[in-house]
A and B are shown apart, each in its own frame.
Chain A
Amino acid sequence: MLARLFPHPLLSLMMVLVWLGLVNKVTLGNLILGSAFGLIVPLLTSPYWPDRPKVARPLKVIEYILIVLWDIIVANVQVAAIILFKPNASITSRWVTIPLQLTSAEAITVLAGTITMTPGTVSATLSADASAILVHCLHTDDPDAVRDQIKSRYEGRLMEIFQ
Chain B
Amino acid sequence: MSLITEIVISFFLIVAGIFGLVGSFGLLKLRDSMQRLHAPTKATTLGVGGVLIASMLYFLLGKGTLSFHELLITLFLFLTAPITANFIAKTFITRNVRDHELPETGGNYGWAPYDDPPPQEVDIPEDKTGG
Residues in chain A near residue B39, CB distance under 8 A: 79, 83
Closest to B68 in A: A21
Closest to B72 in A: A21
Interface mask (A118-142 → B, CB under 8 Å = 1, otherwise 0)? 0010111111110110101010000
Are B89 and A125 neighbours in the complex by a CB distance under 8 Å? yes
Chain B positions near chain A (C-beta within 8 angstroms): 19, 22-23, 25-26, 29-32, 34-35, 37-39, 41-43, 45-46, 67-69, 71-72, 75, 78-79, 81-83, 85-86, 89-90, 93, 101-113, 115-118
Least CB distance, B81 to chain A, in whole angstroms: 7
Closest to B59 in A: A24
29 A-B residue pairs with Cβ-Cβ distance under 8 Å, sorted by A, are A72-B45, A73-B46, A75-B42, A83-B23, A83-B26, A93-B32, A112-B86, A113-B79, A113-B82, A115-B82, A116-B85, A117-B41, A117-B81, A123-B89, A124-B89, A125-B89, A127-B110, A127-B111, A128-B110, A128-B111, A128-B116, A128-B117, A129-B109, A129-B117, A129-B118, A131-B105, A131-B108, A132-B106, A138-B38
Quick check: is A13 within 8 A (CB to CB) of the other chain? no
Least CB distance, A77 to chain B, in whole angstroms: 8
Least CB distance, B56 to chain A, in whole angstroms: 12
Residues in chain A near residue B45, CB distance under 8 A: 72, 76, 117
- The contact of A116 among B31, B81, B113, by CB within 8 Å, is B81
- The contact of A21 among B69, B83, B108, B111, by CB within 8 Å, is B69
